[in-house]
Chain A
Amino acid sequence: MTKLEAIIRPSSLDPVKDALREIGVEGMTVSEVRGHGRQKGHTEVYRGREYSVDLLPKIKIEMVLADSRVEEVVETVLKAARTGQIGDGKIFLSRIDDAIRIRNEERGEAAL
């Protein structure tokens, strides 16, 4: 099994979700996060005082996938989340040892 973590623009969440639903991906966890990669932050000015905002709001999507589906899902996320500008985000893939469904203790890919 593989865990896919995609850090994307908040505005890309809906297109990515729709595209994943179309190819039949069933589960995901979404969180609002802040961070930065190569994209610089911006400055805000309140009554003449400058505040630099270098951690920008992003969305993190986490999914654990059966190995057979990984490439297809990666392709889908890439296509839906790309604008071509700096700040589109990143995808990280990592190995998952096991998965357990809490309701009935199914294990492995059956639990996904």
Chain B
Amino acid sequence: MARMLLRVFLGFVIFAAAGGVLCLPHSTVRAASLTSLAQSPPAAQSPASAPLANRLATLEQQVAAARSSGDNAWMLVCCALVLLMTGPGLALFYGGLVRKKNVLGTMMQSFALMAIVTVCWALFGYSLSFAPGNSFIGGFGFLFLRGVGAAPNAAYAATIPQQTFMLFQLMFAIITPALITGAFAERMKFSAMALFMILWSFIVYYPLAHMVWGQGGLLNASLGGKFPTLDFAGGTVVHISSGVSALVCALYLGKRLGYPREISPPHSVVLSFIGACLLWVGWIGFNAGSALAAGSLASSAFVATQFGAAAGVLGWAGAEWLRNGKPSALGAVSGAVAGLVAITPASGFVGPMSSLLIGLIAGLLGYFMVTVVKSKLGYDDSLDAFGVHGACGTVGALLTGVFATSAVNPIFRDPHGHALAVGLLDGNAGQLLNQFIAVAISWTLAIVGSLVVLKIVDALIGLRVTAEHEIQGLDLSQHGEEGYNLEV
């Protein structure tokens, strides 16, 4: 019996391995010839009888199909990885940093956004971000996901179904507002949070995503933007927009009761630690997936991401070690996030050594922002959404203009198809100006948009929980439950 099971198992392994060979994305010719043996029409099996042109056409079709299935497999995994960043990654990261009485309220904000943003994305969000429109916002072409199906949208990703592209972008639209929740943690009403995020997506996220990544967007580097901006995976769209909006929220809502004297330390650095590790893993999908294909650019972005995160850890924890005599666990994981934020816009444009430098600068900057700047200026950005995402996102966007190189990604070409210089060190000083323009537009949109939305929500339903509810905690006052019922 056991021997039979073993044989069945071995057979399965061999079968699976053969399947793996068939699916290898870039040994396309081999994959195509193997698939043609397995499943091509009868005409191809008797080569002599079919005209050469037909056989070539069949072969080309199969090559394209093999390429597509390889790219699509990778992108589907990346979609799941980026979703993992919000839940449980960010939910744990933020949940651990708050006080015990707010853990569920904080995690619930991230989780609720997974649902709310998804529904909005299906109805109108994807269309307003990625359907052809004007320079500032997408049109209504993809409303209710009309026409978004298995066929690729060649403007964005020619080898994967547009549905996959739509899904991948959705995950970005989820995590961006979820990042903001760190700034108003422990004091915003759940209802106000939900309404704020829906309106904020309309006024800030969809326009910015369209400007930077959408067809015809003002800042789009490869699809005819007026100021071609390098933002590989969302330095402006995700991190500047969320980080700067976070600062506006923190200032508008005011400090938590008793801040800073009576606020107790993070209730579980362990949860935050696990969350940050999941963020790092998910970020691989975020950045390497932004290649939108399983090719060498994805590998390069993976390398940049890993190195940026690692150098961020050394920057932040190293600064602590020098200043306090101890490197803290929370500092180390915060440094990883800072490095990941800064490398995000650069990840598809810079080499490994530039990535190390960008990550290191971000780690040091993040530490400086949350320890020195925040206490000097006295705002209560509770979980440092601005200090990490706003500040490091801005520096990352600018440094992308410095270190981007055509050796990694020849995104600019002359009419003859020759690669042109990309970043400052590559010989294209003008790019830094474009990066500045994009940063300025992102900051302005985030500040103005957030203020408008805060005013509207404040007038309609009010933003803050009552003092009584704030003391009681969000878990009980907003959700009627407690995170920890450990005692009898």
- Asked whether, in the complex, the Cβ of A48 is within 8 Å of the Cβ of B372, the reply is yes
For the complex, give the distance between the alpha carbons of A110 and B207 in Å: 81
A86 within 8 A of B: no
**Count of A residues near B, CB < 8 Å?**
7
- Asked whether, in the complex, the Cβ of B367 is within 8 Å of the Cβ of A46, the reply is no
- Asked whether, in the complex, the Cβ of A47 is within 8 Å of the Cβ of B384, the reply is yes
In B342-375, which residues have CB < 8 Å from any A CB? 367, 370-372, 374-375
Partner of B375, one of A44, A45, A46, A49: A49
In A12-56, which residues have CB < 8 Å from any B CB? 44-49, 51
- Asked whether, in the complex, the Cβ of B260 is within 8 Å of the Cβ of A49, the reply is yes
For the complex, give the distance between the alpha carbons of A82 and B99 in Å: 35
Closest to B330 in A: A46
B384 proximity list for chain A (CB < 8 A): 47
Interface string of B260-296 (1 = CB under 8 A from A): 1000111001000000000000000000000000000
- Asked whether, in the complex, the Cβ of A47 is within 8 Å of the Cβ of B264, the reply is no
Of the four ranges (under 10, 10 to 19, 20 to 34, 35 or more), the interface on chain B belongs to 10 to 19
Closest to A45 in B: B324
- Asked whether, in the complex, the Cβ of A48 is within 8 Å of the Cβ of B265, the reply is no
Main secondary structure of the interface of B (DSSP, over half): helix
For the complex, give the distance between the alpha carbons of A44 and B263 in Å: 13
- Asked whether, in the complex, the Cβ of B266 is within 8 Å of the Cβ of A46, the reply is yes
- Asked whether, in the complex, the Cβ of A47 is within 8 Å of the Cβ of B260, the reply is no
For the complex, give the distance between the alpha carbons of A49 and B264 in Å: 10
B334 within 8 A of A: yes
B331 within 8 A of A: yes
B61 within 8 A of A: no
- Asked whether, in the complex, the Cβ of B260 is within 8 Å of the Cβ of A46, the reply is no
A45 proximity list for chain B (CB < 8 A): 320, 324, 326, 328
B334 proximity list for chain A (CB < 8 A): 47
- Asked whether, in the complex, the Cβ of A47 is within 8 Å of the Cβ of B370, the reply is yes
B266 proximity list for chain A (CB < 8 A): 46
Closest to A44 in B: B265
For the complex, give the distance between the alpha carbons of A48 and B324 in Å: 9
A47 proximity list for chain B (CB < 8 A): 330-331, 334, 370-371, 384
A49 proximity list for chain B (CB < 8 A): 260, 265, 371, 375
The 3 closest A-B CB pairs, nearest first, are A48-B371, A51-B265, A47-B370
**11 A-B Cβ contacts within 8 A?**
A44-B265, A45-B320, A45-B324, A45-B328, A46-B328, A47-B384, A48-B367, A48-B370, A48-B371, A48-B372, A48-B374
